[in-house]
């Protein structure tokens, strides 16, 4: 069954790896059976592939030294390593943790889990567009706040956070800033040195690399300890035989993203803005997230009086258009998204959300088709609605 016929607007959930990435990395599945720790020539070839990938990822984020990039199995794992690895290692300096209310659940639950070890967690409020309240941050942070975590951009509402300002506040207290850049990397430029970032999470599949790899950047003065323990891979910070194919692929994806991001974002922004302009013509429809400080490929809305899953199913079954609604965890538990509620929306407002994330397969010809489908879907569901 081919999934290539319809219009795929859920690139944030998953994307096909870039074919050039597959082309580059496949030799590590087919020809090079090397374990990067082995000392023979095949092992060395594998090791060299990992180090090359490390350099490429470091370049994408302007890390001062590629050795500060640690490969993990996913962004969730990188988040766990960042939060738990840093907190436990530096517990003598402080036992307080801060995170924005709209962080990914892997960040929030990592911090929650640390409460069992005696850490305290506080959540920084955001405004109605999802921007972190800087004054609240200033009030809440102290010299005991061992890790503050704010994402570069949020995947549900597209809002880009004022990382430089946040970093300034955190560093004034001499504390560490972790930034989850899963959805921002490869879309907008990230510069860990100039942005003042101590720890940064990356995901391979979110930059069109293969699934199964992520990375954590930890700055030169940041001390962390492993969460998964074992042998010496990744300087002992993330032991386990490396996923060579995924890591090599992630590196190549990072290189391509660095080169093409600028042109890509112009192209995607144009499609995004047209989609937003058209869809906002529908009655009782609102953009979620910030109108201008938003990811170039991200268009998210909420519709009054109808429900998100119905929107998703109708668009898929009737029009072969795939979108997302709220966050993954909310789809299993039926909770309204914690992100939308953090914006100050009421529960009933938070249920009608639709998130569209653009990718390589999307082009301007699709805009009118999508708009038409959304208009018809909304009309159909509103006719069914008692509200």
Partner 1 sequence: MSDIVPDTELDCIGLYCPLPLSMAKENIANIDIGQVLKILADDPDAEKDIPGWAKRAGHQILMFERSGQVATFWIKRIR
Partner 2 sequence: MAQIGYSKKVMDHFMNPRNVGVIDDADGYGKVGNPVCGDLMEIFIKVKGERINDIKFRTFGCGSAIAVSSMVTEMAKGKLLDEAMKITRKDVADELDGLPPQKMHCSNLGADALHAAIQDYWVKTGKIKLDEVKKEDDGEGDACPT
The catalytic residue positions are: 329
How far is 356 from 354, CA to CA, in rounded Å? 7
The DSSP 8-state label assigned to residue 132 in this structure reads B
Distances (CA, A) of 256 to 24, 190, 214, 297: 11, 15, 16, 17
Which CB atom, from 292 or from 333, has the smaller least distance to partner 1?
A: 333
Decide if 184 contacts 153 (C-beta within 8 A).
Answer: yes
Partner that binds at residue 313, options partner 1, partner 2, none, CB closer than 5 to 8 Å by kind: partner 2
**329 contributes a contact to partner 1 by CB under 8 A:** yes
Stretch that binds partner 2, among 215-223, 275-283, 293-301, 327-335 (CB under 8 A): 327-335
Residues 106-125 that bind partner 1 (CB under 8 A): 109, 112-113, 115-116
Instruction: Based on the shown chain and the rule CB under 8 A, indicate whether residue 105 belongs to the binding site for partner 2.
Output: no
What is the rounded distance in angstroms from the CA atom of residue 75 to the CA atom of residue 213? Answer: 8
DSSP string, 39-84: -SHHHHHHHHHHHHHHHHHHHHHT-S-GGGEEEESSHHHHHHIIII
Q: Which stretch binds partner 2 (CB under 8 A): 96-104, 117-125, 244-252, 309-317?
A: 309-317
Please, which residue, 185 or 350, has the CB nearer to partner 2?
Answer: 350
> Among partner 1, partner 2, none, what does residue 113 contact (CB within 5–8 Å per kind)?
partner 1
Distances (CA, A) of 62 to 12, 57, 200, 256, 258: 24, 9, 12, 15, 10
In the complex with partner 1, the residue whose CB is nearer, 273 or 335, is 335
Q: Report, in Å, the least distance between residue 83 CB and partner 1.
A: 13
When the beta carbons of 126 and 350 are compared against partner 2, the nearer one is: 350
Smallest separation, CB 112 to partner 1 (Å) = 6
Compute φ and ψ for 214, nearest 5 degrees.
Answer: -150, 180
The backbone torsions φ and ψ at residue 134, rounded to the nearest 5 degrees and listed phi first, read -65, -35
CA–CA separation, 223 and 199 (whole Å) = 10
Distance CA 172, CA 217 (A): 21
Whose Cβ is closer to partner 2: residue 235's or residue 346's? 346
- Total number of residues that touch partner 1 (CB under 8 A): 10
* Residues near partner 2, by CB under 8 A: 305-310, 312-314, 316-318, 320, 331-336, 346-348, 350-351, 383-387
Residues near partner 1 (CB under 8 A) are 109, 112-113, 115-116, 329-330, 332-333, 335
């Amino acid at each position: 069954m081919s999934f290539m016929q319809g219009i795929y607007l859920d690139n944030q959930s998953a994307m096909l790896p870039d074919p050039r990435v597959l082309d580059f990395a496949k030799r590590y599945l087919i020809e090079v059976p090397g374990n990067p720790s082995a000392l023979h020539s095949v092992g060395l070839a594998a090791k060299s592939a990992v180090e090359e990938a490390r350099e490429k990822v470091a370049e994408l984020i302007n890390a001062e030294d590629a050795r500060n990039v640690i490969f993990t199995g996913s962004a969730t794992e990188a988040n766990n390593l960042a939060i738990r690895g840093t907190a436990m290692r530096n517990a003598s300096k402080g036992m307080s943790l801060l995170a924005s209310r709209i962080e990914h659940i892997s960040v929030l639950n990592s911090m929650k889990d640390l409460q069992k070890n005696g850490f305290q967690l506080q959540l920084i409020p955001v405004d109605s567009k999802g921007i972190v309240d800087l004054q609240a941050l200033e009030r809440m942070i102290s010299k005991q706040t061992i890790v503050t975590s704010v994402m570069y951009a949020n995947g549900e509402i597209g809002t880009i956070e004022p990382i430089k300002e946040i970093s300034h506040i955190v560093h004034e207290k001499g504390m560490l800033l972790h930034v989850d850049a899963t959805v921002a990397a490869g879309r907008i430029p990230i510069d860990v040195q100039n942005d003042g970032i101590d720890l940064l999470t990356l995901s391979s599949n979110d930059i069109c690399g293969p699934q199964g790899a992520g990375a954590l950047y930890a700055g030169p003065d940041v001390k962390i300890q492993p969460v998964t323990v074992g042998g010496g891979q990744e300087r002992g910070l993330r032991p386990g035989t490396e996923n060579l194919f995924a890591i090599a692929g992630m590196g190549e994806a990072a290189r391509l993203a660095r080169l093409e991001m600028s042109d890509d974002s112009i192209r995607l922004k144009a499609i995004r803005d047209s989609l937003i302009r058209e869809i906002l013509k529908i009655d009782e429809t609102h953009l979620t997230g910030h109108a201008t400080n938003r990811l170039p490929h991200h268009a998210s809305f909420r519709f009054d009086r109808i429900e998100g899953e119905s929107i998703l199913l109708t668009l898929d079954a009737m029009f072969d258009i795939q979108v997302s609604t709220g966050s993954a965890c909310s789809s299993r538990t039926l909770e309204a998204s914690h992100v939308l509620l953090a914006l100050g929306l009421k529960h009933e407002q938070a249920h009608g959300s639709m998130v569209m994330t653009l990718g390589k397969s999307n082009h301007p010809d699709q805009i009118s088709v999508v708009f038409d489908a959304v208009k018809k879907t909304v009309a159909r569901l509103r006719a069914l609605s008692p509200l």
